[in-house]
Structure 1
């Protein structure tokens, strides 16, 4: 291009001319699809996704930047972002568009200290369930374990939630999945704390937690009793909890 020059940074190239600046993305197509799947899955940054799934950020960002081939990790990323492995690698098959027919059970609610959520580390540890009618690509389910949430959801019930978001006024007074700054995940109703950035978290069977810093909230969109919580199970229901705790430990 006449009167243009290239400033190369990573795999993206800034193309500057006297009219405007354009961004030319010369990454491999698979890397571009990986980024698209991550964004449509509800993770605004690569670091958010890596932290949520327990991946090495350095490895993941190299895959997304296209500086490292992702064929060996494609199956893991496809399951996490709910796209077809073939689509991720070649563009053929099930992409991130359209409503899901099933929703993964990603954790056990009420199973850890203070009713915290234990997340699965392996693929499919908790199985899948039919998606609620209003499910999006971001919808996930938690299976309630024990009686710590009785009055909201009993043992064996399913809690569905949607996109994780930074705290905003609309979350206050609504039942939410709360992703705390200390990496615990709780199902609580948030209220304003004593100062900005802090929240009081209310539950049905425990004392109010006061002035808790929260990273994300996700609205609870549906709760299904055990009888209607039909599963496509692909795990052993007697599997010890410690075998499927996220990052090898409870979110406590």
Structure 2
């Protein structure tokens, strides 16, 4: 079964195969050529393109490695859109970096003596990261995992996104969830929070089975982790 796709002003090509589509006479380069050029000119990773376009990373990897020179029309349109252009513009090399809203990185979190204080950067002076697809940036901040103390759940360089419900607040719905939190001594943690033995106290359960748990801790604030973003997907600004 072929594809029908409009090209230019009122001109329609009926294609019986992806190979035929990739060799249309008006095209100056194959879809693979255009894809490799777009990756080079914009600096986007293939994983980011896969997420933005909603296509398989393996599909893009095969394309980049030359195992396939084209793709189906629907995916091609989505890939082009992820670079901020339409399919015709994409094949002509008209791509540019896609502007995304950014989220501030408040600091880093680790374990034991490696845990730094939150808000480690001057206001407005810290690093930013592109807002991941599907996440609304308003009111969201991120912390960067440091070290291997949270393996195998979180790894060094991963980003955790959260939103604080008030400056000093410990919402009731955090119990049982993985949270970013600060204890009364000003130390930051990423733990699973459980109810303590008395009101106002909490047990902080380590994500690494070999790490120590903390019992009956009083918290200044806690916020559920809304999104875990692996280090190789994060694009810092």
TM-score by length of 1: 0.48
Partner of 2:200: 197
- Aligned positions of 1:1-252 closer than 5 A: 101-110=101-110, 113=113, 115=115, 117-123=117-123, 126-132=126-132, 133-165=134-166, 166-205=169-208, 206-232=211-237
Q: How many residues align?
A: 133
1:91-129 superposed Cα distances (whole Å, 9 cap, x missing partner): xxxxxxxxx810011101116626455542324554111
- Segments of 5+ residues of structure 1 without an aligned counterpart are 1-99, 233-252
Partner of 1:88: none
SS in 2 for 1:204: coil
* CA distance in 2: counterparts of 1:169 and 1:120, whole angstroms: 27
SS in 1 for 2:106: strand
Partner of 1:97: none
1:182-240 superposed Cα distances (whole Å, 9 cap, x missing partner): 211211111011100000001123211000001211111111111101111xxxxxxxx
SS in 1 for 2:223: strand
- Segments of 5+ residues of structure 2 without an aligned counterpart are 1-99
Query: Contact conserved, 2:108 with 2:115, CA < 8 A, in 1?
Result: no
CA shift in 2, pair 1:146/1:209, >3 Å: same
Partner of 1:6: none
TM-score by length of 2: 0.51
CA shift in 2, pair 1:212/1:116, >3 Å: farther
